[in-house]
Structure 1
Amino acid sequence: MTTLAYIPSPTISQFELGPFTIHIYALTMLLGIVVCVWMLTVRWQRYGGTFDQVLDTTLVAVPCGIVGARLYHVVTTPERFFGPNGDFVEIFRIWNGGLGIWGAILCGALGAWAWCHHKRYPMALMADAIAPGLLVAQAIGRLGNWFNQELYGKPTTLPWGLKLNNQGTAIGSSEQCYDGATCPTGTLFHPTFLYEMIWNLIGAALIIWIGHKTINRLKAGSLFALYVMWYTAGRTWIEMLRIDFSHQILGLRVNVWVSIIVFILGVVAFIIIQRVGTSTQVLANKLESITMQERDQQEESQHA
């Protein structure tokens, strides 16, 4: 039976530029970071901050996030890197895929918190400012999975099913069904990368809209808590469609359990923030004062 409609897969996941090999997965990550920083800057400046403050925080948070993302993947799939069938050097080849968002958020947030604490920037404002940008960056990053032909879902007959190929350098070029057996030629798979892209973009738009409508009612940090709840709610059902290898606990993939637990923590955090948090306007006033002090110090140093 001929399939009339499907989503094709790219035939490449990398290309050569002179002596360098450019991995498209890495390019999508870089593009996601750039867009996220741009969105963060626009929102942060509305609170009274500057681009330099965003840049300095980014230079600390991004490396921490990348390290955390890789560590999460290594911890949850150790057999890929250790043991008789593991390759320790593969830990450092992040362009081959394998970055856990949970580790990225945790370590990236810790890095940002440490820098904000050092510079006295209101961390709750920073979290709210970056929330929609994170979702957009994660959506862009999922394109890297498409080019790598990885992390797709179960076989489907839907017209937007993902068609794999056996050409080029894509990592997932060999078709396999969820049971590990070779699938019939023409098998389509749920494009989980696309599902998450759409879910994240909708979430980013909702957070921006909610922030605009409730700026004087929600406490600072609320939008980041909503980001956590939205992303984990979507990740739960999307993760259950995926057929790539994952350890399971009580019949559920590890990332499903993590999503459920983090969602609950997001709900608890949202409630606590409303009860004991500080208003956005109060922290915005504090940020404006810090920004003015920094500008005065810069002017004094220039005239010294």
Structure 2
Amino acid sequence: MMIRFPNLGVELGYVGRSVRIFGFEITFGGMLLALGMLAGLAFIVLEAKRRNENQDAYVGMMITAVIFGLIGARLFYVGFSWDLYKDNILEIFNIRNGGMAFYGGLLGGMLGAAIYCGIRRLSFMKMADTACMGLVVAQIIGRWGDFFNRESFGEYTNSVLAMQLPLSSVRSSQVSAAMRENLVTVNGVSFVQVHPAFFYESAWCLVLFLLLLVWKRRKSFQGEIFLRYLTGYGLGRFLLEWIRTDKLVMPGTGISVSMVISVILFVLCGIMGMVRRTMAKKRAKVKKRRREEDYEAEEKAAREAEGHDSLEADDLLSETHTKENPENPDAEAAKEAGQTDPVPSGSAEESGNEPEA
């Protein structure tokens, strides 16, 4: 039950696998997995509330995704470990002994969520942008269940973070030749010294979560955050598969199934994300240019209308002056010229005659 980190000077004398509550044995790994899912669901609901989206729709989608995900995770593991179950079919339903594969759960969950969105006529990619961030939260917490289960560790190492596990507490199928050659004996107990791969993955998911928080503020199309998650997780998982010893391999080969899926996710989702982002930027530029053209056209029309109204006003003013002086336009002209008292024709001065006494 001891776990040691010799290069950090940390020694945990007792790390249990489970606890009994009301007579039921509950593993710490299972509790952390449940805690991770609840934390992830809480994040999704709060994010949906912040964005004024339907929170009930997200809850329904996640419940469906979890059910399909659990089935997919088990079937994926059983399918690539068939030799362990072919002689005892009923053991397939015994999940208390472990045997779940994350990529199977991811693919199953995606299928369940897509079916739910299709039935409810909701946008899967839009909801996946928020749901994937809740999934990362669940991974950050849930991966620590492997610490208590003594699972998902890597090859032998003498690095700063090297972890020592009692040889008797781990599955023999996960102990490599390098581990056996470098066994460490402490107080008569043999330890394997390995990479804490579960910690690496939890830390990678934490970094990915922080990046997703930044990227979602600059999202340019629906589904971008989801594609970035798949790309980022695929890259991290590919690197981790190099050191893990509990790999599921393709039948007849020594190729890790998770490594192949990771490469596909990294390449395919990465390319899709870049292409769609480029197209979204081009569409945004076109819309911006059209808005500017429409604005300029409206401004031009407004200026022309203003000039037309000004001309009409001048014509109306001219007509008004003409109507006010219809019989003597010369008098009006004289008035404008400053001749306020014109001399009438036929006066005495004009005829040259003296006025009568």
TM-score normalised over the length of structure 2: 0.68
- Note if contact 2:238-2:263 (Cα within 8 Å) is conserved in structure 1: yes
Aligned partner of 1:15 in structure 2 is 19
Task: Between 46-55 and 65-74, report the one with greater CA deviation.
Answer: 46-55
Aligned partner of 1:227 in structure 2 is 229
Q: Deviations over 1:22-56 (max 9, x none)?
A: 11221111111111111111222233323322222
In structure 2, what residue type is equivalent to 1:73?
A: Y
Write the mapping of 1:28-39 to structure 2, written as runs, cut at 5 A. 28-39=32-43
CA distance in 2, matches of 1:44, 1:178: 49
Q: Higher RCO, 1 or 2 (CA under 8 Å, sep at least 6)?
A: 1
Q: Which runs of 5+ in 1 are unaligned?
A: 280-304
- Note if contact 1:149-1:173 (Cα within 8 Å) is conserved in structure 2: no
Q: Quote the offset at 1:160 in angstroms.
A: 1.4
Q: Deviations over 1:122-165 (max 9, x none)?
A: 21111101122211211212111111101211111122111213
- Note if contact 2:227-2:273 (Cα within 8 Å) is conserved in structure 1: yes
- Note if contact 1:146-1:193 (Cα within 8 Å) is conserved in structure 2: yes
Q: 1:8 to 1:102 in 2, by over 3 A?
A: farther
Q: Quote the offset at 1:117 in angstroms.
A: 1.8
CA distance in 1, matches of 2:266, 2:174: 33
CA distance in 1, matches of 2:18, 2:154: 23
Q: 1:180 to 1:91 in 2, by over 3 A?
A: farther
Q: Quote the offset at 1:178 in angstroms.
A: 4.1
Write the mapping of 1:20-169 to structure 2, written as runs, cut at 5 A. 20-83=24-87, 87-165=88-166
SS state of the match for residue 164, structure 1?
Answer: strand
- Note if contact 1:60-1:111 (Cα within 8 Å) is conserved in structure 2: yes
Task: Between 3-12 and 120-129, report the one with greater CA deviation.
Answer: 3-12
Query: Aligned match of 2:265 in 262, 266, 289?
Result: 262
TM-score normalised over the length of structure 1: 0.79
SS state of the match for residue 163, structure 1?
Answer: strand
Seq. identity, %: 27
CA distance in 2, matches of 1:272, 1:244: 35
2:175 is aligned with 1:176: yes
CA distance in 2, matches of 1:175, 1:70: 19
CA distance in 2, matches of 1:41, 1:57: 11
CA distance in 2, matches of 1:13, 1:112: 32
Aligned partner of 1:285 in structure 2 is none
CA distance in 1, matches of 2:104, 2:247: 19
Write the mapping of 1:196-211 to structure 2, written as runs, cut at 5 A. 196-211=201-216
Q: Which runs of 5+ in 2 are unaligned?
A: 186-190, 284-357
CA distance in 1, matches of 2:172, 2:271: 42
In structure 1, what residue type is equivalent to 2:199?
A: L
CA distance in 2, matches of 1:8, 1:128: 41
In structure 2, what residue type is equivalent to 1:156?
A: T
CA distance in 2, matches of 1:42, 1:78: 41
Report how many aligned residue pairs link the two structures. 270
